[in-house]
Amino acid sequence: MTDHLPHTLRSDALDNRKGILDAARALFSADGLDVPMREIARRAGVGPATLYRHFPTKQMLVAEAFADQLHACRAIVDEGCADPDPWRGLCLVIEKMCELHARDRGFTEAFLSTFPGVTDVAAGREYTLKAVAELARRAKDAGHLRSDFILDDLILILVANKGIHATSTATQVTASRRFAGLVIQAFGACPQHAPLPPAARLASAALHGLPR
pLDDT in tens, 79-103: 999 999 999 999 999 999 999 999 8
* Nearest Cα residue to 124 out of 55, 187, 62: 62
For residue 132, CA distances in Å to 73, 81, 88 come to 12, 8, 12
Could you count the other beta carbons within 10 Å of the beta carbon of residue 124?
A: 22
Give residue 3's pLDDT.
46
* CA contacts within 13 A on the Cβ side of 173: 9
Which residues are CB-neighbours of 97 under 8 A, at least 6 positions away? 73, 76, 157, 158
Of 31-35, 46-50, 190-194, which gets the smallest average pLDDT? 190-194
- Does the pLDDT at position 208 exceed 50? no
How far apart CA 49 and CA 55 sit, in angstroms, is 10
* Nearest Cα residue to 152 out of 179, 96, 112: 112
- Does the pLDDT at position 211 exceed 70? no
Chain centroid offset of residue 12 CA: 29
Q: What three-state secondary structure class fits 178?
A: helix
pTM of the model: 0.81
Give residue 1's pLDDT.
41
For residues 118 and 62, is the Cβ–Cβ distance under 8 A? yes
Could you count the other beta carbons within 10 Å of the beta carbon of residue 54?
A: 17
- Does the pLDDT at position 7 exceed 60? no
Give residue 203's pLDDT.
61
Type of residue at 47: G
Give residue 119's pLDDT.
85
- Average pLDDT in the 11-25 region? 91
- Does the pLDDT at position 75 exceed 90? yes
- Does the pLDDT at position 207 exceed 60? no
Which residues are CB-neighbours of 108 under 8 A, at least 6 positions away? 101, 158, 161, 162
DSSP 8-state assignment for residue 134: H
Domains of the chain: 2-65 (1.10.357.10), 67-187 (1.10.357)
* Nearest Cα residue to 89 out of 44, 127, 136: 136
- Average pLDDT in the 143-170 region? 92
- Average pLDDT in the 177-181 region? 96
- Does the pLDDT at position 72 exceed 70? yes
Give residue 167's pLDDT.
85
